[in-house]
Amino acid sequence: MKTTQGKKVALVAGASGIVGQQLSQALVADHWQVKALTHRSDFAVSGTEIIAVDLRDSQQCQQRLASLTDVTHIFYSAWLNASDWGTMVGPNLAMLQNLVQTMEDVAPLEHVSLMQGYKVYGAHLGRFKTPARESDPGVPGAEFNAAQLNWLSAQQHGKAWHWSALRPGVVGSDRPGNSMNLALSLALYASICRAARLPLRFPGSPETWHSMVDFTDATLLADATIWAARTSDARNQAFNINNGDLWRWSELWPVIAAWFELEIAPPVSLSFRQLFQDYRALWREIAGDNTLVEADILALSDGAFADFIFGWNYDMFGDGSKLRRAGFHGYRATDEMFCDLFARFRAARVIP
């Protein structure tokens, strides 16, 4: 395994997201100079320089990023939601293009790291081949992850810089206030059940209960992303990145219930989005009684991402062996990950 040396200056796009926050922190800890692009005024990671820019606006990108003449690495995890998959392609592709093309002109760019997901395998469309492998053929239809990588690969031809693409499973993170934090949604749900003296019912279908899912700890993902950006053997390649183990919800759910000291009961179809609305007043009471940091449960999670996850009635996992064969040997036990995240939420007074 060969790694590059010298001064490294990271430009993190999507720095306030569930991936970008942890990555920014990991880069600072690894002694990188970090410049964070975000639209959130409340975002702060110690040791980073915050830059506000609308990546959809090419002229604004050129104006506000022209002074970043020392950037060597772009870490891209920004994304823009839309009403359907096809509508998401245009703006998400444009944001990546505007950033990369601007930095190509002003900085000694060495590497572009692109954060993707299992949608490149058709996971968002329904049942797909599992385990998903990086060598699997593409899937027809509009999807911005695939469009971004196609463009990035073509743009790199003949250039001095290289790219890598990371494809995590469901990401486990201790960062509150992010709609894509499944662990937090589960912690809020379990805390409500405790307060209401209810068992912890699985919120999906019997098919989902028995489905197999892989997860990716945010810290592990950050480590793998930095590794791929610095390793010559990872140049111009995509990698699945997961914890290294596989779980069915039927095995994982009792672990979650036990941590919260709850009984389990037969599954029932639930909407987290509706549940958090229904118990909004109760959460205010819970927060007041326990001096929690946020009294509005909807400011912590709107429940939509959890509904999306528990709507999968099919297996959702990838083969992570290519990354480990290439030289990254990080591993995280998923049951321990969830318990650790719950403990962090409690220590930070996010949950009682």
pLDDT at 180: 86
- Out of 107-116, 173-182, 211-220, 270-279, pick the least confident: 173-182
Determine how many CB atoms are found less than 10 A away from the CB of residue 134. Answer: 18
pLDDT for 1 beyond 60: no
pLDDT for 5 beyond 70: no
pLDDT digits (tens, 9 = 90+) for 106-146: 999 999 999 999 999 999 899 999 999 999 999 999 999 99
Rounded to 5 degrees, φ, ψ at 249 are -60, -30
pLDDT at 41: 61
For residues 109 and 72, the answer to whether their CB atoms sit within 8 Å is yes
**How far apart are alpha carbons 275 and 195 in whole angstroms?**
14
- Out of 81-85, 266-270, 348-352, pick the least confident: 81-85
pLDDT for 42 beyond 70: no
What does the buried/exposed string (b/e) look like for 136-160 if buried means 16 or more CB atoms within 10 Å of the residue's CB?
Answer: eeebeeebbbbbbbeebeebbeeee
The structure's pTM equals 0.94
pLDDT digits (tens, 9 = 90+) for 184-218: 999 999 999 999 999 999 999 999 999 999 999 99
pLDDT confidence of 3, banded at 50, 70, 90? very low
Mean pLDDT over 72-76 rounds to: 98
